[in-house]
Amino acid sequence: MERISLRALITALLLAVVLITVVHTVISQYQFRRAALDYRADSISRVIEVAALEALRQARSHAITLGGSVQKRLQLHAPDVLRTQLNAPFSKGYVEAGYLDLVALRAYDAELHLLDMDGQRHIPPLPETVMQRLAQRQGVERLKTLGELWHTTDAPLYSVLVPIGGLHVEGYLEVVFNPLFNLLNVGDMIRMPLGIHDHRRAELLHPAGIDERAPNHAAMEYALRGVDDAVVLYLVAYADVDMLYADMRRIQFITALSFFVLTLAVLTLAFWLLNRHLFQPVQHLIGQMEHVLHDENNALVTQRGIQEVHAVAASFNAMATRVREIIQELRRISAQDGLTGIANRRSFNQALEREWLRAMRQGTPLSVLLIDIDHFKQYNDRYGHQAGDECLQHIASALNLAVQRPTDVVARYGGEEFVILLPETDAAGAAAVARRMQNVVATLALPHASSATGIVSMSIGVCAITPSRGQPAQNLIACADLALYRAKAAGRNRVEVAQASDWAALDSAAT
Amino acid sequence: MRSLAGLLLLCLALPAIADKPLAPQTIPGAVTVDAERAVLLIQATPHLVIVDSRLSEEHAKGHIPGAINLLDTEMTEAALSRIAPDRDTPLLFYCNGERCLRSNNAAAHAVAWGYRTIYWFRGGWQEWLHKELPIAR
């Protein structure tokens, strides 16, 4: 299975971070724009509110002045005169009337019963809540002017109620005017195209210069509320958003650019640092580890990179060293004979194969001495197995000490059999070594009551050959075995050298 | 140290110097009233003489119904006696507002001349307009 690499993983993560920031920036750009537009709409709505309320305040002020002038002359108890007096602002030139779009004048008595009116006769009575509020007023409050914005089914109205009779309230005069007239110049006040809609959103004033195809203008609305908090008029200002958008785009561009540059710089730095201190050391470590695995020498990996990589390398080195020690120990143990400490049969066979090939290559003779301790079974029976083991140990160390060349191999071949490999040694040399061995063991003078000599002796079969191609190395052992057999047969405690007949026997057996 | 304290006092006093001074809260021998109490007073006192201590131009633009214009600097004892012969006649003085000292000055004079029932509408015309009370012209 293909495994993902650390570098690929981190690169993917960094790319994901970049992608997320880009997506976030793009999304936030839209949200930012919407928020800015909302904020703009909110602040413009406030501006419209202030301007509209100021226009209404001025109109109300004119209405109060007009009402104050008219009420002085009103004769509430003379119906004929009252009619004429109420008509005066419409028919005569009152200064304040020029600032208002007068709809009607209505006179009430102190108990708020309608006495008479002039102007548009079809306008409905004041909303019930206003009448109740008027009726509930007490004391000085009754003298104060009341102004309310309200609407009929088809027109907005503003009513101002001024007391008649100065400070001694005889009744009330209601000045009703259409506030639309005063609101027309709100657009001039706020310096924006202004549209006005009534409570059913029917257009009353069309904004100058704004048509259906004015995409660069955003409508910002303010709902003008009157009696009972009901919307009487919608004032809609059209703000040129091109400049707003241009400003925003510039700010966003700068913000985004600086953000990207910063992110890129940070990511580049992060990648560089990671590459230098993590990826490369890890890659290097992996390469060296592979090398160490196949390397017989005591090579170790270089410790570099960040703390963790360094620690991994150190651990690997410690482990490699420990494993090498264990391998050496195991190798030593596997090549040794457990009892005598000299080479074992397996190790001997390896040496034999090696030397066989070498001798074949170099055309030199190779000799093997196969040694058998005489009457060892009886020795064991008589002296016990522990003594038998000790005897073997003595002989093994004696044999091991008796060979002179480092290439000679002394090994334990089986129970009481030893074998000695002598490279570059012919039959005569090998026989000499065999006799020397016999002497060495004789010198030990290990007592053996069951032996004819009274001491431990050995029979030795010697075989020497210059190997040729196609011959198995084990033939050398078999040949020495034949010689040993003859030595035993001839009465033991003697050296017997293999003859050409032995080889012939072996060859015929092989074929 | 003393000069430092003086400097500090000067600093504190500077805003007050910059604005026109406020009229005092009360005048000895006169009752200070607000707009509501003034209205109740006017409604309840038939013989009350309301003295508008402002300039005649200001008076012409609008005034409390029933007020008589008499500028404080032109208000001699004789002039006041013409509109209020009896020292028991209740008098109500007002001018533009709390930064106007004319009514304060006039009321103080009236107290000195022995008028016994003197009211001073300290908030004056500004308060009257602000509360949208009936005005006369």
Q: How far is the C-alpha of A418 from the C-alpha of B51, rounded, in Å?
A: 152
Q: Rounded mean pLDDT of B1-25?
A: 60
B97-118: pLDDT as tens digits: 988 899 999 999 999 999 999 9
A499's torsion region: left (phi>0), alpha (psi -120 to 50) or beta?
beta
Q: Rounded mean pLDDT of A275-300?
A: 83
- Checking if the pLDDT of B6 tops 60, the result is no
CATH code 3.30.70.270 region(s) in chain A: 345-510
| 3-class SS shares of chain B: helix, strand, coil, % to 5 | 45, 15, 40
A431-489: pLDDT as tens digits: 999 999 999 999 988 899 888 888 999 999 999 999 888 888 888 999 999 999 999 99
Residue A174 makes CB contacts below 8 A (sequence gap 6+) with A104, A105, A106, A107, A108, A126, A159, A160, A161
Option in A64, A69, A166 nearest B66 (CB) = A166
Would you state the pLDDT for residue A80? Answer: 85
* Chain B interface with A: residues with Cβ < 8 Å: 35-36, 39-40, 42-43, 62, 64-66, 131-137
Superfamily of domain B21-130: Rhodanese-like domain (3.40.250.10)
A117-176: pLDDT as tens digits: 998 888 899 999 999 998 898 888 888 899 999 999 889 999 999 999 888 888 999 999
CA distance B116 to chain A (A): 25
Tokens of A48: 């419209």
Residue B126: pLDDT band by 50, 70, 90 thresholds? very high
Residue A89: pLDDT band by 50, 70, 90 thresholds? confident
Q: Where are the domains of chain B?
A: 21-130
Specify the DSSP element, H or E, that contains A482: helix A474-489
* Nearest CA-CA partner of A105 in A55, A71, A154: A71
Option in B62, B133, B137 nearest A143 (CB) = B133
Single-letter code of the amino acid located at A370: L
A166-203: pLDDT as tens digits: 888 889 999 999 999 999 989 899 988 899 999 999 98
* Chain A interface with B: residues with Cβ < 8 Å: 64, 68-69, 71-72, 139-140, 143-145, 162-163, 166-168
Question: Scanning every residue of chain B, which has its alpha carbon at the shortest distance from the alpha carbon of A144?
Answer: B133
Q: Are strands B49-52 and B67-69 parallel, antiparallel or unpaired?
A: parallel
* Nearest CA-CA partner of A442 in A410, A399, A379: A399
Tell me the whole-structure pTM to 2 decimals: 0.60
CATH 3.30.930.10 fits A345-510, yes or no: no
Would you state the pLDDT for residue A213? Answer: 64
A69-78, B40-49, B78-87: segment of lowest average pLDDT: A69-78
Residue A178 makes CB contacts below 8 A (sequence gap 6+) with A101, A103, A155, A156, A157, A158
Would you state the pLDDT for residue B9? Answer: 54
Are the CB atoms for A369 and A440 separated by under 8 Å? no
Single-letter code of the amino acid located at A417: E
| Mean pLDDT of all residues belonging to chain A | 88
* Chain B interface, best mutation among A64, A167, A170, A175, by max B CB count within 10 A: A167
Would you state the pLDDT for residue A100? Answer: 92
Would you state the pLDDT for residue B16? Answer: 47
CA A57, A61, A62, A63 dihedral sign is positive
Q: How far is the C-alpha of A262 from the C-alpha of A58, rounded, in Å?
A: 56
Would you state the pLDDT for residue B1? Answer: 46
Q: At which residue do the structure tokens 């055309």 appear?
A: A363
Q: Rounded mean pLDDT of A329-345?
A: 89
- Residues in chain A with CB shorter than 8 Å from the CB of B33 are none
A205-222: pLDDT as tens digits: 888 877 766 677 888 899
Would you state the pLDDT for residue A244? Answer: 77
